[in-house]
Structure 1
Amino acid sequence: MTYNLIKEQVYSVGAIDWDRRIFDELINIPNGTSYNSFIVKGKDKTALIDTVDPTKTNELRDNLKKLDVDIDYIVINHAEQDHSGTIPKILKKYSDAIIVTNTKCKEFLSEFLPLTDANFRVVGDGDSLDLGGKTLEFIITPWVHWPDTMVTYLNENKILFSCDFFGSHLATSELFSNEDIYKLAKRYYAEIMMPFRTIITKNLEKLENLNIDIIAPSHGPLYKNPEFIMNAYKDWTSNNTKNEVIIPYISMHGSTKRMVEYLVDSLIDRGITVKPLNLTLTESGELALDLVDATTMVIASPTVLTGPHPSVVYATYLANALRPKLKLVSVMGSYGWGGRMLDLITGMIGNLKVEMISPLIIKGFPKEEDYKKIEAMANEIVSKHEELGIIEKR
């Protein structure tokens, strides 16, 4: 990669990671990612905004060499290694550069990297840095998605360097996004940002008065249409859900699968959008994505020993950790000789502020009376969706 001109004297100098397929040893990223880093050249001073993952140090150094700049400031919006890990090597080249960041981020960087107080200039919410005809303004946006996060606004060019805010995991040679980015940005939000939904809403409000032409996140392409991604975030972080039921499930011998299939058909017949997610085939990112808008989740599992299938345990744990805006949850499944599956699953969702729909745990393969109970579950879900105003009463 080489550097790219964004606006006059503003350049993208980061790196594309075409081959990366897992992030933080946790998140699958089938489309790769990028580590976006930026140069802002004023008349008097030059600032580098964020660095790159240490694995891409050479790319960043090569881009800076091609651009032939001297760096006075290194603005770090967030302390994670994919933003900050290259700082020591950049300082070897630009030894007089000062790291500009907030108090919490300085604290983290001092723990993660061999840095001293002399390396830092600490800024607070609303502070600015004059580069000579280019003014950087700093806005503290904690818990998007760490407590140290801030964003940087370039006043004269109306560019918001938004850190992980509004990002996406996508390796692409295109500098700017198109509407195809929606699903990838939504998945990024679901996996990384959703647990902090309420706080993100407040941070969105802090950006409302900014006149923004371009949003430049730390991962994925940039946005020339900032309203597109900001409106998407307002929707995702709102309390509004859609007329959707998701059913993460596992079936070992066919009983639970038959129950799920019958429930899916029953809900479709009643005008509800249903997404069954076979956990033997569904990766965690797909589950997270579908959790963003769903009103109801039905967790379906066979009984393994005395509890739910391990894949269901993980899916339940993930849903609880991500804290989506679900309104309703239920449990269904089958057992052979007994167990505590229902108690264990319901005990794992304490973070979810939901109402429980009547569960259905049966013995063996479903029988005629069990199908009637599944019909009753479908009716109860429809009734609750009507009460919530998500669908009109029949």
Structure 2
Amino acid sequence: MKPRLIKEGIFWMGSLDWDRRLFDALIPLPDGTTYNAYLVQGQDKTVLFDTVDIPLVSEILDQLQDVERIDYVVSHHAEPDHSGGVPAILEKYPDAKAICTEKCKAMLIDRFEIPEGRFQTVVDGETMDLGGRTLEFLHTPWVHWPETMVTYMKEDGILFSCDLFGSHIASTDLFVRDKARVYEAAKRYYAEIMMPFAKLIAKHLERLAPYDIRLIAPSHGSLYDEPAFILDAYREWVSGKPHNLVVIPYVSMHGSTRMMVECLTDELVQRGVGVMRFDLSEVDIGKLAMALVDAATVVIATPTVLTGPHPKALYAAALANLIRPKAKYASIIGSYGWGTKVVDQVAAALPNLKVEILPPVLGKGIPKMEEKKALSEMADQIAERHQEL
């Protein structure tokens, strides 16, 4: 695509990756993604904020063909989907400097072997005058790597936020127009990438609160010309209370565990507790992660495979442990044939979750009256605890 005018002297550049369906060999991209870069022209200096992923560098070079001078290329984050074009930009503009944090500089040298003399590092809160446009560089470590920062442009009220507030979605809408679609994509992005750092993000949101932010320009997805839309969403995802919701990731080989899941679901619904179930044999992990943003309780349901949990149940436990949802309670249900160590192994896979483990329910073969009663009691315990949220 050709550069797109945001306002006088400020242009969107980058790539729309319509067909990409997997990120980091892990994260599903049902709607593709975008790699956003931004060209800002001051009276004295011209800056490019971020670039694109390595396979698409030729696109941003085409967009820059009529730009005679770039003084700085800001690398907010060293990950190649943002910094993949930095070496090519520095080659095209031999007088340009790469601006980044000290940690980012080290990562870019490691990844791209950029000469050290091409860098200009900035400290937290440092400002730069482009001539009529003032940049303030704000370090935001662990959003979502340790070297990241964002940039605030004072006169225009623009926050160049890199991955913060991003959404994996390919769209020709320069600004957010389909709010429902963007909300879901942004929540998926938060769940999969940002949720492990929720406490740090809360502090960054607090720091950004006094700034007059009139436009948020992330490195993935559409721009927010109504910043409250995404700021309010992040405040809820990061700091809001868990919902009256139980998420049940499950896998069932011969139907017994599924019967237990159906029994628990019915008992919970009768008590006014919401339930979201995910069949791990064909789950979209993004959907599961999104549900975990809101869940107060997680119940992992698994059959026993050679005395241990099904590998896909362990995968779900590992995912929950990795992204660290704000759930308050967790438990395990499942079936076995002759012996099981499911509870110990699943619980051991959840060290990062600060949850109360409710008494598990395991049954030999299909659930009998004893297991059904225990599932009913589990539903009672969950409903009582959810009233305290």
TM range (shorter): over 0.9
SS, match of residue 65 in structure 2: helix
Structure 1 distance, partners of 2:360, 2:25, is: 35
- Find the counterpart in structure 2 of residue 279 from structure 1: 280
Are positions 1:361 and 2:347 aligned together? no
Amino acid of the structure 2 residue aligned with 1:2: K
SS, match of residue 210 in structure 1: coil
CA displacement 1:59-92 (0-9 Å, x = unmatched): 10111125x3411110110111111111111122
Counterpart contact for 1:21–1:30, Cα < 8 Å = yes
SS, match of residue 211 in structure 1: coil
CA displacement 1:235-280 (0-9 Å, x = unmatched): 1111510000000000111110011001111111111110011111
Aligned positions of 1:210-225 closer than 5 A: 210-225=211-226
Counterpart contact for 1:7–1:157, Cα < 8 Å = no
Structure 2 distance, partners of 1:102, 1:259, is: 52
How large is the RMSD of aligned CA atoms in angstroms? 1.0
Deviation at 1:94, TM superposition (A): 0.7
Amino acid of the structure 2 residue aligned with 1:375: S
Aligned positions of 1:219-238 closer than 5 A: 219-238=220-239
Deviation at 1:282, TM superposition (A): 1.2
- Unaligned runs of at least 5 residues, structure 2: none
Amino acid of the structure 2 residue aligned with 1:80: E
- Find the counterpart in structure 2 of residue 184 from structure 1: 185
- Sequence identity, in percent? 52
- Find the counterpart in structure 1 of residue 304 from structure 2: 303
- Find the counterpart in structure 2 of residue 56 from structure 1: 56
- Find the counterpart in structure 2 of residue 265 from structure 1: 266
- Find the counterpart in structure 2 of residue 86 from structure 1: 85
Aligned positions of 1:244-393 closer than 5 A: 244-386=245-387, 388=388, 390=389
Amino acid of the structure 1 residue aligned with 2:271: R
Deviation at 1:281, TM superposition (A): 2.1
- Find the counterpart in structure 2 of residue 157 from structure 1: 156
TM-score normalised by the chain length of structure 2:
0.98
Amino acid of the structure 2 residue aligned with 1:23: F
Structure 1 distance, partners of 2:68, 2:276, is: 52
Amino acid of the structure 1 residue aligned with 2:14: G
SS, match of residue 292 in structure 1: helix
Counterpart contact for 1:362–1:370, Cα < 8 Å = yes
Amino acid of the structure 2 residue aligned with 1:19: D
Counterpart contact for 1:239–1:325, Cα < 8 Å = no
TM superposition outliers: structure 1 runs of 4+ over 3 Å: none
- Find the counterpart in structure 2 of residue 23 from structure 1: 23
How many residues are treated as equivalent by the alignment?
387
Counterpart contact for 1:245–1:274, Cα < 8 Å = yes
- Find the counterpart in structure 2 of residue 209 from structure 1: 210
Deviation at 1:209, TM superposition (A): 1.0
Structure 2 distance, partners of 1:19, 1:57, is: 17
Amino acid of the structure 1 residue aligned with 2:196: P
Q: After alignment, is 249-258 or 234-243 more displaced?
A: 234-243
TM-score normalised by the chain length of structure 1:
0.97
SS, match of residue 166 in structure 1: coil
- Unaligned runs of at least 5 residues, structure 1: none
Structure 2 distance, partners of 1:267, 1:289, is: 20
- Find the counterpart in structure 2 of residue 110 from structure 1: 109
Counterpart contact for 2:362–2:371, Cα < 8 Å = no
Deviation at 1:166, TM superposition (A): 0.2
SS, match of residue 81 in structure 2: helix
- Find the counterpart in structure 2 of residue 72 from structure 1: 71
Structure 2 distance, partners of 1:298, 1:98, is: 51
Deviation at 1:369, TM superposition (A): 2.4
SS, match of residue 171 in structure 1: coil
SS, match of residue 383 in structure 2: helix
